[in-house]
Structure 1
């Protein structure tokens, strides 16, 4: 960037030196407006564009000729400089003052042929002058439209960035809610259990309090990890923990705090799973804890069939949706955990289903058409 600025400065200085050399022959009303327009453009000073345009129009009004061959190059330099200045003026135009700064360079470009063509020897015909002015007007309008188009692109880009940031914030909020809600629901279950055993079994009550403390620490750790993820400048894309290990840990913690028989059926060929698999299991177990507290058997299966990966959570309660859980087509009375997860899985070409099983239980299952993360790990 610095070298480009130096090059533009050198070019502007070269134009000024050339103008001084050509001054005796071409005259100040030819060279000075060209230097003002080209210099403002090369030095990237769009705010100077209005003054350069005023100088150009004043020179056009005051010039009386004669216009020889030496004026041609300066005419082109001045036109190019004014058109270049018109682009940022059109890009930034807003309100009367902004549009006035556009009108001045456009007007200067349009009337600039009137400084040269009538003073040629012999003078140009009026029709020829009109055609040249018309072409200059078209060039000014095209440049004006180019500036407005660039402004529209910038607005579209800014809108896309804002929408992406909003989507990231919503996704982060959903993730944070799901993970913390899982731990908080476990803490509530343990607290209720502690109230029951506190009067009769002190040791069990203490163990329950320790599990509540561990769940609270994990929830705090999740919050801290979220803050670190947001602090990109300091931590720059911190890697996530292996999803398969986290999935197994979630199942183990749920087993410790539940009276139900919890089984993890893990295909030994699987080395890793997508992050959303961990999310799905966490959400499903949280729903079991909330809406099926009477479940006596829960089975978490992570299987692979060919290149397809499936993750399922099955419990032996007949209809979890009746208590407010997620149903296959909606979330009657429950949260939007699985609905949001279903949308995110769809972005990975995966599917999510939730509903009663044929054996009187309830199943939540996700399926990926191919295990992409596992293939990358194997490589």
Structure 2
């Protein structure tokens, strides 16, 4: 059976995704990745406190490892808008800490809901934007101030309590994995006891004790063997199955966004859809961490699929170039918000926020 022909995308089709109340519910992508070292290579997942690797065992015994979480993927995707031509699509907002360091809002993990934003000269504008969203339903002030908060989500947990759902979510998982371990031994370049830095008795007590100050400072032999019973330090995972990146663009959440009028609502949705499509289609550089560098698998083409309310699935011809062209047109129609650079951090606001009852200002 021949594969269905991908739906061509034109402006009318894209606009229909934002306007039709009973329109499609999502765009999805299943992209097979591979380690740069090739199949059968060891890859290092993220580690979590008191957990190590996040590996789930399914009912059939298959083990699935989380390689990059939704939050991590969002934080990797969002800084795309710091670079041309994408930087023209959003306002540039930076916060000056007063110590010579300037933080771009695109690098702030909780976006408009972050403590750094509340403790800056942006606090009043952000409070008003969340208030407008809560009281009137209008997302326009947020879109003018920090539109990526609408794309990747934000929670004003210590203010109005507004929750902005993610329109773009992405994860990477490895299937059918086996965790492996590694062991290491540190050997100092000199015998510091012989150099009279400390005594032979102190050396004997410290060697092999990773908690010893001499071991922690690198003055004695010390093994790195990981937790007892684990066979050594976490040494990555070996996957017999695929590394799969799954991306979803939530069109239902997109159509929930409102402006002050039908015209403004349409322009807002198209603008945010354009930003969502740009980030979702960008291939990025999947250097996730040391020992985890992935690329798309050229032998397994990744196709975008449009999912209807009925569950019917149809491939669509969505490309980075098409997404950018739509985003640029939508940004012009909506009007990109004014940039605000070097907004000062306010220590007094930060201290007041710490003292606020129940964490609310």
The two structures have a TM-score, normalised by structure 1, of: 0.18
The structure whose Rg is larger is 1
Higher strand residue share: 2
- Structure number with the bigger relative contact order (C-alpha 8 A, sep ≥ 6) is 2
